[in-house]
Chain A
Amino acid sequence: MMTFSLWDIVRNLLIGGALTLLLSLVAFALGGATGLLVLFARIGKWRAPRALAQMHIELFQGTPLLLQLFTLFFGLSLFGLDVPAWLAAGLGLTLFTSAFLAEIWRGCVEAVPRGQWEASACLAMTYWEQMRHVILPQAMRLSIAPTVGFAVQVVKGTAVTSIIGFAELTKTGSMIANATFQPFLVYSLVALGYFILCYPLSRYAQALERSFHAAR
């Protein structure tokens, strides 16, 4: 029978952890970019994009991430599309992230007082000039803490992609646990891995929130 040293376990988990980190970053970056588009559609004047954005948000907020991944992974293959696990994982998390970020950011835009819109309108600014110079700078300030807070959710959300076979931290952990018969040790290390990724983010979010409360 093969034996595993602690280093063997940790080494493999580090590789899985790196993929978790990579998936989180990709999902957050692409989800953020998509979320911005969804946001502008959602708060814009045109009816059709607004309805589409709302549907997008309700769909991805109203269903479990796991089922979104299943649908992408198994559903698209029904149409003859061979979707590898990494692609389904990245795409699923991106869509999930975009829906939540769009909604978080909408709250921040709407938290900017109406007087700011009126004052900038009176100065003859167009909608996009108002957005760019008056509304978004203030909304951005409000959004930093909740956005970083949501990043923690994304990191933890990546664990779900293990179900469709993407070999990130959790999937790697379960494979190692099966091979070593040391599930408690392995899963504790897996949990520690998530904690190491998330804890600094949580602290950062708290610090940001404090500094903005102090500033305004």
Chain B
Amino acid sequence: MPLVSTNRLHKFFGTNHVLRGIKLDVEEGEVVTIVGRSGSGKSTLLRTLNGLESIDDGVIEVDGATLEVDRADASALRNLRQKVGMVFQQFNLFPHLSAGQNVMLAPQVVKRTPKKEAEEIARRMLERVGLAEKFDAFPDQLSGGQQQRVAIARALAMSPRVLLCDEITSALDPELVNEVLGVVRQLAGEGMTLIMVTHEMRFAREVSDKLVFMHEGKIHESGHPQAMFAKPATAEFASFIGSLN
């Protein structure tokens, strides 16, 4: 059984039909990259997977937690979100808390983890992203790359079953991109289930088990990245990769 699965997913923004019946299955430990032109619905799809965007039809299932159109109440959302971590383009660290406190907050508040234990978790997670010595630094004292790594640590501290990455290197200076990608590569190597939207095509080809190309709100083509890049099955995907070079 897949860890994450969506079926008949539909989403409208007003009259704009942005997701048109998405069926996506992600196995445990799989790394899935969603690509597509801007406006193709890729970020929206990612954001529906933890309820940041409501859906207008269909069902989302993550490790037994189900979200349906008419049954998306607060407790269903909370249940789902404990299994799904997310990292954003703009980091969204809490600026009034230190790096360590950023990571500790959710375990303490949501999981009622005692402070001492939460601190241990936070130190371990920061070490995992190579920032053990930044525990007491505030977000505005960190570089963009470091902030993004703290954001990853913050998501990992809730021990999610799957991590969503929404263009997490797009706001970074070029020289800082690799330190963040390095952390993602390491997570993929450890068997973390990852679903990401990215413009880093080379990276996507290297780490992904599955590539999903979205076009006009649908999954237009998907498969193994090497095979897809070598031999695009659709004209749209061919034109998309053509436009990258």
Contact = CB atoms under 8 A, between A and B. Distances in A.
B244 interface: no
A55 to B, nearest CB: 28
A125 B106 CA distance: 7
A123 interface: yes
A124 interface: yes
A122 B74 CA distance: 12
A122 B52 contact: yes
A118 interface: yes
B185 interface: no
B140 interface: yes
Contact of A126 (B78, B92, B96, B105): B78
Interface string A119-141: 11111111101000110011001
Contacts of B96: 137-138, 141
A119 B92 contact: yes
Contact of B88 (A118, A124, A134): A118
Interface string B87-125: 010101111100000000110011000000000000000
Given A123-B158, A124-B81, A129 B109 contact: yes
A113 B92 CA distance: 9
Contacts of A122: 50, 52, 81, 84-86, 155
Interface residues of A, number: 20
A110 B106 CA distance: 22
Given A115-B90, A115-B92, A138-B96, A123 B106 contact: yes
Contacts of B54: none
Nearest to B80: A124
Contacts, number: 59
A121 B81 CA distance: 8
A119 B74 contact: no
A192 B129 CA distance: 61
B72 to A, nearest CB: 13
B154 interface: yes
Contact of B110 (A115, A124, A216): A124
Nearest to A124: B81
A206 interface: no
Interface string A86-129: 00000000000000000000000000010110111111111101
B81 A116 contact: no
B225 to A, nearest CB: 27
A116 B102 CA distance: 12
Interface in A125-168: 125-127, 129, 133-134, 137-138, 141
Contacts of A120: 94, 106
A126 B81 contact: no
Interface string B115-155: 00000000000000000000000001000000000010011
B82 interface: yes
A133 B109 contact: yes
B140 A216 contact: yes
A138 to B, nearest CB: 6
Contact of A124 (B78, B90, B92, B151): B78
Interface string B154-168: 110010000000000
Interface of A: 113, 115-116, 118-127, 129, 133-134, 137-138, 141, 216
Nearest first, the 6 closest Cβ-Cβ pairs linking A and B are A123-B106, A119-B92, A115-B92, A124-B81, A122-B86, A124-B82
Interface of B: 50-52, 74, 78, 81-82, 84-86, 88, 90, 92-96, 105-106, 109-110, 140, 151, 154-155, 158
Given A123-B158, A124-B110, A134-B94, 6 more contacts: A119-B86, A119-B92, A119-B151, A121-B51, A127-B74, A134-B105
29 contacts: A115-B90, A116-B92, A116-B94, A118-B52, A118-B88, A119-B88, A119-B151, A120-B106, A121-B51, A121-B81, A122-B52, A122-B86, A123-B81, A123-B110, A123-B154, A123-B155, A123-B158, A124-B78, A124-B82, A124-B106, A124-B158, A126-B74, A127-B74, A133-B105, A133-B109, A134-B94, A134-B105, A137-B96, A138-B96
